[in-house]
Structure 1
Amino acid sequence: MKINIMISADHINKEEVLGKTVVVIDVLRATSVITTAISNGCKEIIPVLEVEEALSLANKGECILGGERNALKIDGFNCSNSPLEYITDVVENKRLIITTSNGTKAIKRSEGAKHILIGAMINGKAVARRVLSLREDLVIVNAGTHGEFSIDDFICGGYIIDCILKQNLKVELSDIAKTARQIYSISPDLSFIKEAKHYNRIKELGLEEDLEYCLKKDIIDIVPEYVDGKIVKIDV
């Protein structure tokens, strides 16, 4: 198995992901939201790029709307991009339409991959197990922030790589994948993530509880997967 990393949604190479397993990471906060919602019983999640598309889909059936622009809740939406809002009472057996600044773009631009998995710190070990079970080369797609590199996603990718290597040493890492794992190994308590620009943007908004939640390791043991335009729980 070979593992590579793409540093933002804007850096996705379609030829590189074609036919491979992709893990999309937007740890602060879209993939943490998606993983939490699916874990709490959400029936399916539809990621879209534009607010107008989300509103249009919402008019065609019973669903809830979630997401953000510039880390803030979108007017008229039911939920923001806080994973703490996606509790069972809100999402169970519901269809969620979500649009975010970075995460949903990374998911949609990964289309063409054989499998598109949703990864975060909160389900890192489960993602590693799922990747190994698929036996395909892996591309980790960091959502980044507005097309730029993000420390938070990079370290999360490093954590997932570390989990993979602890289960299978016969893995070939690209230089950037080696770097991600090394950075994680230097800061396994995730303290270095506090240097991230996006981390501090969320902190400035008073969302410390979101940050604390998103940086918990392995509190969820499922891996959502994007299949035919929808994110669902795949039983394996």
Structure 2
Amino acid sequence: MKVDLIISADDIKREKVVDKSVVVIDMLRATSVIVTAINNGCNKVIPVVSIEEALNIVNKAKERHILGGERKALKIEGFDCSNSPLEYTCEMVKDKVIVITTSNGTRAIKGSEGARNILIGALINAKAVAEKLIELNNDIVLVNAGTYGEFSIDDFLCSGYIIECLIKNLDVELTDIAKTAHYLYKANPNLEFIENASHFKRIKELNLEEDLIYCCKKDIIDIVPEYADEVIL
């Protein structure tokens, strides 16, 4: 089993992901939101790239949808929820359909189309993701959403932890960049280096420390949402 890594949504190439088992990681905060919402009982999540597409889906739908997402880490005007996982409570999302658009995460999900599997990963469900990958028994690509097309320390560290969970259970062949992510995690198992991430600092500046605390917890959820046919279940 080979493990590769892509550093941002802008760096996804179809030939890198086609027929692979992909894990999309945007731990601060889109994939943490999706994992939390699915865990709290929403029916499904529909990820889209643009605000216009999100509004079109909701305007055409007969049933009630929840609009969620962000631009520049801020709630989109007129949307029901921001990109804070703490907003996606059972009371808010149970039996609902969520339409979400974010600056990085939803672009990474849509950009990974063509993969055999597209799993949604974060620190909060990392161990479960690794277990699912072992079950799938396929070559793996960890797709980091990054931040506005740039490398992001937070997603890289999360990838390193997923790799650590994998290699505890089987032999894997790591590319150089996957080895580097694993090395960085092994040097920072308590995630202290994550505070250097520009996006971490941006969220902290917005006084969203509770989001950071939540998103940096390991393995508090044991489900693995999967994207297929334009929805996440």
Which TM-score bucket, shorter chain as reference? Answer: over 0.9
- List 4+ stretches of structure 1 deviating above 6 A: none
User: Which sections of structure 2, spanning at least 5 residues, go unmatched?
Assistant: none
- The aligned runs of 1:184-195 (5 Å cut-off) are 184-195=185-196
Q: Deviations over 1:31-70 (max 9, x none)?
A: 0000000000010000001001101101122210000000
Shift of 1:177: 0.3
Choose from 145, 148, 158 the match for 2:147. 145
Q: Deviations over 1:139-172 (max 9, x none)?
A: 000000000000000000000000000111x210
CA distance in 2, matches of 1:224, 1:150: 22
CA distance in 1, matches of 2:217, 2:146: 19
Partner residue, 2:19 = 19
State the number of aligned residues.
231
TM-score by length of 2: 0.99
Shift of 1:173: 0.2
Pair 1:47-2:26 in alignment? no
CA distance in 2, matches of 1:161, 1:114: 19
Shift of 1:213: 0.1
Partner residue, 1:81 = 83
Shift of 1:202: 0.3
Partner residue, 2:168 = 166
Matched position secondary structure for 1:167: coil
User: Which sections of structure 1, spanning at least 5 residues, go unmatched?
Assistant: none
Matched position secondary structure for 1:202: helix
Matched position secondary structure for 2:114: coil
CA distance in 2, matches of 1:118, 1:203: 24
Partner residue, 2:97 = 95
CA distance in 1, matches of 2:87, 2:192: 25
Choose from 67, 70, 73 the match for 1:68. 70
Amino acid in structure 2 at the alignment position of 1:151:
I
Amino acid in structure 2 at the alignment position of 1:174:
T
Amino acid in structure 2 at the alignment position of 1:185:
K
Partner residue, 2:200 = 199
CA distance in 2, matches of 1:93, 1:112: 29
Q: Deviations over 1:65-98 (max 9, x none)?
A: 0000000000010000000000000000100000
CA distance in 1, matches of 2:199, 2:66: 26
Choose from 127, 130, 133 the match for 2:129. 127
Shift of 1:231: 0.3
Shift of 1:125: 0.2
Amino acid in structure 2 at the alignment position of 1:171:
V
Instruction: Give me the identity figure in percent.
Output: 64
Shift of 1:108: 0.1
TM-score by length of 1: 0.97
Partner residue, 1:213 = 214
CA distance in 1, matches of 2:16, 2:102: 24
RMSD: 0.4
